Structure 1
Amino acid sequence: LSDTAHHHLAIAVLFLVAGHQYRTNWGIGHSIKDILESHKGPFTGNGHAGLYEILTTSWHAQLAINLALFGSLSIIVAHHMYAMPPYPYLATDYGTQLSLFTHHMWIGGFCVVGAGAHAAIFMVRDYDPTNNYNNLLDRVIRHRDAIISHLNWVSIFLGFHSFGLYIHNDTMSALGRPQDMFSDTAIQLQPVFAQWIQNTHFTAPQLTAPNALAATSLTWGGDVVAVGGKVAMMPIALGTSDFLVHHIHAFTIHVTVLILLKGVLFARSSRLIPDKANLGFRFPCDGPGRGGTCQVSAWDHVFLGLFWMYNSLSIVIFHFSWKMQSDVWGTVTDSGVSHITGGNFAQSANTINGWLRDFLWAQSSQVIQSYGSALSAYGLMFLGAHFVWAFSLMFLFSGRGYWQELIESIVWAHN
């Protein structure tokens, strides 16, 4: 712990000095404007020319970049706080661990979506095409169709294949053919690259980092660290179930990025509505006469992207809750480690039915019984979080897909 506190103090001093690497109000350090304008390659036109003016004149552009970085950092913090716990008693307080992970993931998700929102507002209100000719921003906007169509294709491919693996497993399970399922005991899909990274980091103190006393995290490998008879941290084994769920994460994150990026790149114009820049950040449908003009404003893209952010984070939090209870958290006795759910993640998390039956349904009684226990605060927060989620879906469903929309279009077409 003293090491952790000391390193934070030391890095603060370093940052105070390093802050002068780039020129601010004092005349020392590099000029960011010079760096940006000289940074151009053979295929990048005018490079970053004009970007310095954007960052110094548009608060929205500044905010978009800072939110994206801060959000990404918060998501990294969510991981590091359990994988490299600074306090021994924090690591064994599982309710707090879960809450901290959830907290930092949500903050990260909202910041990243906020980055998409402010980037789109910048495009609508602050972007000046005359100052951005053939620089990188202009070139990205000019081939936005290629970017979005590729991202679209990747998202569709990821969706069908990642979810399709689960559907295959559910079908084989229902037909009583376990030997044909993707699992650690049948057709294996081992995360070989992740396992290689784990092994590399675990063996680093003996090989590539001979001066290090230990590996950076206990998740890489080694012995169980217990505090007061509870597991603080231990090696996390990865298998087929982990491979499957991480590809679901890849899918949901790509779709979130697709919607937000489409909102930014098409914020000023599209083939259907060329005058978006005049209509503003948000505008309503143009009526049934122009089919496809509903929910196409930059604001609507942020709104719809938000739901995919919800989707991705919900799966991340489900994944974290189950994986940790199954493979990490538990009690340590003379006979070994006894995990909360007995290591059932590897066997059950490879089917949709496994998630429903062995995670949600199996643990629902604990939630219901928590309301009258000392853990009632957690149970009520859990209930409240699900209420907020259901409340948000109300807004998603009420906006479009309403029968009146179809009728209006038919009436207009026959008028």
Structure 2
Amino acid sequence: MKKELSICWLRRDLRLDDNAALYHALKSPYPVLLLFIFDKNILQKLDDKSDARVTFIYQTLQELEKQLQKKGSAILIKYGTPEEAWTEVLAAQNVKSVFTNHDYEPYAKERDDALAEFLSSEGILFKTCKDQVIFEKDEVVKPDGKPYTVFTPYFRTWQKKLDSFYSKSYPVEKYIQNLYQTAAYPFPTLADMGFELSDRKFPSKHFETKLAAYEERRDFPADDATSRIGLHLRFGTISIRKAVQTAIDQHAEKWLSELAWRDFYMMILWHFPHIADHSFKPAYDNIKWRNNEQEFKAWCEGKTGYPIVDAGMHQLNETGYMHNRVRMIVGSFLTKHLLIDWRWGEAYFAEKLLDYEMASNIGGWQWACGCGNDAAPYFRVFNPELQAKKFDPKNEYIYRWAPEYKNEKHIQPIVEHAFARDRILKVFKEALNQ
């Protein structure tokens, strides 16, 4: 007779501590087995077989396995589509309930709705929990119950609602003895899944000492003044509650607002799923993009002739990271100087960024383009040279990532700023007046 158990399905929450779904699973009447699925539907879309994010997930799971073995338990890892994986799990185990954390992206919502229906037909409880944000869905709305689409009033309400309850961690350790006791399961190798180990360096989880510098110097890309925890929030190796509580404890108001931006964009994607591939403001879908493939290639390779743009693209291509101020500059440049569809840039970032999150990335790209909710107005066109003078006055960032600009004979600009600005204003006006 197979032992009755609960499953805690990990996805974007790769940690044992302060994990909402794991906490609720451990409090259920059955011992808890952890499950992770390397989802073929997602992995097959990755062109780079040494994609560093796959290595990061894999190495994190190895660490979790070590922690679990010390507690007499293990993590079950499957490789396949969710349908295939769950069919195998339910055939092998006597599952009474499944716990997992909410995911707000369109594919994830479809996947979870389908699983909920399937488990219900099998008489298995399916419970999902809020974990990767402080506030979600309809938790922070306008007095009339409609979602905010402008960040500043959203943040005011977000802050008013925030108290110690929302940033309090889940005491998983208190119930950890309820883990399912089992020997280790076979661990698939990266090669089994068609991937190879990346040698990319991953940022540290320890951000606490960075927050004072962040408040003062976050806009200067040459400085080590950002927390670099985007990757850890993306895959849940750090709890959002811990991040928020640390910001409160250190009075890091600006950093706290950046965490709230993340909640805001997740909420926007939930309420307005069309933004996954359309502009938030429909009129902007009328823009006649030039979409010149040679110019897009030059942008991707950091060969635009604009030093700060090229430095940003080199940093992204070499490290999987780009400083946030520079993300705004390169995003504005692609959409407004080159008149290339924001979706092209968003897709390139999705391929390259270690900390890629759909909601924030789409939000950032639509902001830079001017087509999003609460976006920079379309007639605000960043001048890359002025941005560089203001935020990299000694060219430290530029020379670090685009050393070719130390020489006088550098690349000619791909387009002249004043010409590009006049062109974009004309094209955007025509689209918006249709």
TM-score by length of 1: 0.25
Higher RCO structure, 1 or 2 (CA under 8 Å, sep 6+): 2
Q: Give the structure with the higher percent strand.
A: 2
Larger radius of gyration: 1
TM-score by length of 2: 0.24
Q: Give the structure with the higher percent helix.
A: 1
